[in-house]
Each structure stands twice: as structure tokens, then as C-alpha cells.
Amino acid sequence: MASIALFFSLLTSLLFTSSMAIASYNQNPTSFIRSSCGRTLYPGLCYASLRPFAARVGTDSVLLSRFAMNVTASRLKPLSDKIFSLHHRASLPPSSSGGIVTSAIKDCDGLISDASDLVKKSEKELAGLEEMVGREVTWRISNAQTWLSAAITDEGTCSDEFGNGGGEEFERVRKKVKRAEQLTSNALALVNCLVN
């Protein structure tokens, strides 16, 4: 039984390093980013957000995934701050659905803060992945996938909450939440490519 587990552990490690080598063979960094982003739901956004890091990413799939998470986290932090300020603002815009709007802001405050923490946690989970083998690689990628999926759920729930009204400012925030959700989706797709 232990030999079977060892076999699958070594096979996973071999497939992981082989797929990284094949993906990066004979590609320049911008072509690598473009082709990797082609596997996401929002390839244009993916490429535009990651192209500035091409020289630092090179053709490293793990590093590309980590940069995608860092880009997402950099969007979530100011968004979280904005929602926090809306939540704690003394006077909300007049609305016939004021209670619903206040509830949406309160919910989103926690959801986006949680999404931000999950994205950061996922990025840290992949740190040093290139040096790991076997089950540790699989475990860490699985953790990142789970946490990024949860972040997408949080963002989607928040976006839905903001769909309940509240004026132009709330519509701007909803659009920013939607953009963060798209970035998180791209990061998850790039993490998924590490095992596919």
C-alpha cells in the first residue's frame, strides 16, 4: 500500500514538473502570459493585468499564478477599504430600500475582507512550490484552489447584494467587486493549470 502511495506521489511530482517545462519551452514571457491567460474566462483582463510583470514572471507557471493572486489582492484591499467606509458612513443616500442597502454594505464589508484574506492565503500557499514534491504539491495546490473558489463565492455574493439598489456610488462599487471576482477567477484558472 505504501509503495502505491509513493508511486502516485512521484507520478504527481513528475507530471507537475513536466507540465511546467513543456508549457514554458521556447516561449518568451509575454507569449507565455498570453497563452496561459487564454485558458481563463477573462483572457483580455488576465493578459492586461499580468503583462507588466512579464520580465519578473518569465515562463514560470507557479510564479504567474502567484502574480495573478497578488494583482487580485491589490484590487481587493482598496475595495475592502471603500466598502468599510460606506458601512461606517454616518449618512447613507436616501433610498426607499435604505434597510436593504445598509444590510448589503454590512454583508459586503465582511465578504470582501474575507475574500482578500483568502486570496493572500492562497498566494502564500504556493510560495516555494517549485521545490516541493509529491503530496505536498498536490495538497498546496488543492488548498489554493479551495480558498480561491471561496473568495469567488464571497465576491459573487457581495456583487449580488449590491444589485439591490443604492445609487450611483453603489453601482460603481458593484462593478469593482465584479472586476475583482473576474481577477480571482483568472487566478484560480491559472492555479488549475498547474495540475492539468
Half-sphere exposure of 49 (CA within 13 A, CB side): 28
pLDDT of residue 10: 38
Q: Which helix (H) or strand (E) holds 53?
A: none
| Three cell numbers, residue 103 | 444590510
pLDDT digits (tens, 9 = 90+) for 13-25: 444 444 444 444 5
User: Exposed (0-12), middle (13-18) or buried (19+): which is 13, by Cβ within 10 Å?
Assistant: middle
- Fold (topology level) of 2-192: Butyryl-CoA Dehydrogenase, subunit A; domain 3 (1.20.140)
Cβ count near 155 (within 10 Å): 30
> Residue ranges per domain, the chain?
2-192
Q: Name the stretches of the chain with pLDDT < 70.
A: 1-26, 87-101, 164-166, 196
